[in-house]
Amino acid sequence: MASLTIRQLDEKLKKQLRLRAARSGRSVEDEVRTILRGAAADAEAFAPPAASPKNERKAETGAPRVLLIIGGGIAAYKSLDLIRRLRERGISVRVVMTDAAQKFITPLSAGTLAGEHPYTDLFDARSEFDVGHIRLARDPNIVVVAPATANLMAKMANGLADDLASAVLLATDKTILLAPAMNPNMWSNKATQRNIAQLRADQIVLVGPNAGEMAESGEAGLGRMAKPLEIVAAVQALLAAGSGVLAGVRMLVTSGPTHEPIDPVRYIANRSSGKQGHAIAEAAAKAGANVTLVSGPVNVPDPRGVNIVKVESAREMLTAVEAALPADVAVFAAAVADWRTSTNNREKIKKTGKGTPELALIENPDILSTVAHRKAKRPKLVIGFAAETEHVVEHARQKLARKGCDWILANDVSPESGVMGGDMNTIHLVTGDGVEHWPPQSKNEVAAALIRRIAATLDVKK
Ligand code: CTP
């Protein structure tokens, strides 16, 4: 063995080694040392079961990769089933366990199911030699936290990194899916709800929690971890959204309010934040679409990976939208001002002491309707929103017919709903075939659901 050199290995093995070394940024010799060190540690710490999990991991090369962070809660036992369910679907799973998680389930059980010993310690020589917490954070396609405890979510919301799990969560640039699990009082506590609002604003996706009986006898309410198959479905949806389901699709999105000038210093506006339209543009770009976002004045950050055209008024928005055609799909999420002033006041309107000025209004062009009724360059799928305060679905149906679009995402924007400016949205999708009632979810989750729906429909239309 001592006389074996890398040159003597067969070509396939050498190629695999070179690939692995390139991925980890090491020399081939260092990679071999790392593998041997890992193997020695495995032999000490973990007796492999008969099914030889190492071989299974080799078979999973190229498979989608999930990093599963198991937090410390009674629901941790369900995460063992989650590992099995994910791997059954060809998804490879690498596990990180917090100290508290190891009080509920053992690394041996998690490792046996994952086919690889779990990572547990930020300063464990084996983890650092083998992959290191930065690579643990970067390697997967998705990071899943199940169960996500109140403590782990509080750390995430505040950017703490005092153990391996929280350090990986801070270091990752991948989509994070949380499956919260806790006592209903902990869930409804204002501090937890504040943290969740922050995490949602940070584009972190949640699945669950569900309502039901708690492990503690006599306790019931919202706080049960989502079922393993619900988590698997959320993982698959996120993998689909991030795996180029809209590759090659040209997508146009409008977002935000418009400002209609009254004079050079005053304008007519509305409460739209642009959060929903921007989330759709970013989700579409993540799914591989070539996205043009035409945005009114907003205070939310520019989404990554999209071409942005910034406008002020409805007429400017229409010009920018027409310039962005042709497109395969157009989503009109902007809250376009219906009216503008009929006069073009070049100077500031002054108080004259002779009463208040009268503002005469005229109607703005309807951008959605204009595009939906085009003979040439009409996108295959034209999607509008309906911001309603009453008879939401009924009004949306009428809008679908009147504006000539293919789908309407109707939402209740009355002040009690908190939709305008808020992070949550409850959508009723009205199409020619009927109405789908979506559950209340974050605007990012609505965006992901819409992208999946668009991808499925375009596939049918191909
Ligand atoms: N819309 C548009 N141009 C306008 C007005 C609305 O493109 N001038 C689009 C919005 O982007 C949205 C849809 O039309 O996709 C419906 O907007 P909404 O404000 O709900 O409806 P309105 O047409 O303004 O009708 P109403 O105010 O009577 O509800």
Q: Is 392 in the pocket of ligand 1 (CB under 6 A)?
A: no
Give the DSSP per-residue string, 374-413: -SSS--SEEEEEEEESSSHHHHHHHHHHHHT-SEEEEEE-
Give dist(CA 451, CA 285) in Å, integer: 10
- Output the pLDDT for position 24: 63
- Supply angle C-alpha 256, 268, 429, rounded to 5: 35
What residues are labeled active site? 270
pLDDT of residue 360: 94
CA 283, 147, 191: angle at the middle one, nearest 5? 80
- Which element (helix H / strand E) includes 134? helix 132-138
Q: Among 270, 339, 385, which residue has the most ligand 1 atoms within 8 Å of its CB, making it the best to mutate?
A: 385
Is 68 near ligand 1, meaning CB less than 6 Å away?
A: no
Mind listing the pLDDT tens digit for each residue in 345-388? Answer: 999 999 989 899 989 999 999 999 999 999 999 999 999 999 89
Of 40-54, 115-129, 227-241, 382-396, which gets the smallest average pLDDT? 40-54
Report which of residues 369 and 138 the model is more confident about: 369
pLDDT of residue 1: 41
Supply angle C-alpha 175, 179, 182, rounded to 5: 145
CA of 224 to the centre of ligand 1 (A): 40
Distance CA 440, CA 300 (A): 22
At 334 the pLDDT is 98
Query: Is the CB of residue 385 below 6 angstroms from any atom belonging to ligand 1?
Result: yes
Six-digit token string for 442: 């974050």
Task: Tell me the percentage of the chain whose pLDDT exceeds 70.
Answer: 88
Q: Residue 338 CA: which ligand 1 atom is closest?
A: 8
Q: Which domains does the chain have, with CATH numbers?
A: 63-241 (3.40.50.1950), 250-341+360-461 (3.40.50.10300)
Measured in Å, residue 156 CA sits from the centre of ligand 1 at 38
| Of the candidates 134, 101, 142, 139, the residue with the CA atom closest to the CA atom of residue 118 | 101
Alpha carbons 389 and 411: distance in angstroms, whole number: 8
pLDDT score of 216 more than 90: no
Q: Residue 2: its pLDDT value, please?
A: 43
Beta-strand relationship, 329-332 and 339-341? unpaired
> Cis omega (within 30 of 0) on the bond before 326?
yes
Pocket lining: 338 vs ligand 1, CB cutoff 6 Å? yes
332-338: average pLDDT: 97
Nearest CA to ligand 1 atom 12: 385
Instruction: Map residue 144 onto helix, strand or coil.
Output: strand
Q: Which two tokens stand for residue 7?
A: 């040159």
Token representation of residue 310: 């910034």
Residue 379 near residue 402 (C-beta atoms within 8 A): no
* 80 and 225 Cβ atoms separated by less than 8 Å: no
pLDDT at 409: 97
In the Cβ-directed half-sphere of 346, how many Cα atoms lie within 13 Å?
A: 0
407 lines ligand 1 (CB under 6 A): no
Q: How many Å apart are CA 234 and CA 231, to the nearest integer?
A: 5
If you average pLDDT over residues 27-35, what whole number do you get?
73
Kindly give, in sequence order, each residue whose CB lies less than 8 Å from that of residue 403, ignoring residues fewer than 6 positions away.
366, 368, 369, 372, 384
C-alpha 149: how far from chain center: 20
For the record, the structure tokens of 60 come out as: 């999973």
Task: Give dist(CA 69, CA 382) in Å, integer.
Answer: 40
Pocket mutation for ligand 1, best pick of 332, 400, 408 (most atoms within 8 Å of C-beta): 332
Q: What is the pLDDT, as a whole number, of residue 297? A: 97
The whole-number pLDDT of residue 260 equals 97
Cα gap 250→261, rounded to integer Å? 32
Name the DSSP class of 271. -
How confident is the model over 50-109, as pLDDT tens digits?
333 443 444 455 689 999 999 999 999 999 999 999 999 999 999 999 999 999 999 999
Q: Rounded to whole angstroms, how far apart are CA atoms 365 and 50?
A: 70
Q: How far is the CA of 420 from the centre of ligand 1 (A)?
A: 14
Whole-angstrom Cα Rg for the chain: 26
Q: Indicate the range of 38-52, 242-256, 422-436 predicted with least confidence.
A: 38-52
Cα 412 to averaged position of ligand 1 atoms, centre (Å):
14
Q: One-letter amino acid identity for 392?
A: V
Three-state SS at 280: helix
pTM here is 0.60
Encode 336-380 in three state secondary structure. CCCEEECCCCCCCCCCCCCCCCCCCEEECCCHHHHHHCCCCCCCC
Q: Report the distance separating Cα 148 and Cα 161, nearest Å.
A: 15
Q: Indicate the burial class of 279 (C-beta count within 10 angstroms; 0-12, 13-18, 19 or more).
A: buried
Q: What is the C-alpha to C-alpha distance for residues 161 and 170, in angstroms, rounded to an integer? A: 7
